[in-house]
Amino acid sequence: MTNLPAPIRAYLGLLDTAVSRVRDLSNRAPELPMEAVAAAMQLSLRAQQRFAELTVRGDEVLGRIRGVPEEAPSWATFDDEHTDDE
């Protein structure tokens, strides 16, 4: 063990990690475009999920302010409802 301060040792470890990643980059170059596309799609899906969560939460807030109707509107249909024709 050396007597170097911890930040200097951490910097040297970071530098070594960066050098090894750059060396690895040539092996991973063909994979990078697909990884970028996958990361972008994942980010897009997360953003859509977060937007949907915030929309539901906003609906809940509006429901508390305005009051929630007792019955569903006449125009609302749900998948679990079956008509007599079926």
Going by pLDDT thresholds of 50, 70 and 90, the confidence category of residue 14 is: very high
21-78 pLDDT, tens digit per residue, is 888 888 888 888 999 999 999 999 999 999 999 999 998 898 888 876 667 667 777 7
> Does pTM surpass 0.75?
no
Q: How far apart are CA 80 and CA 78, in angstroms?
A: 6
Look at the alpha carbons of 60, 62, 68, 74 in this order and tell me if their dihedral is positive or negative.
negative
Amino acid (1-letter code) at residue 45: L
Per-residue tokens: 74: 């006449």
Per-residue tokens: 21: 């990643």
**pLDDT value at residue 24:** 87
Q: How far apart are CA 49 and CA 42, in angstroms?
A: 11
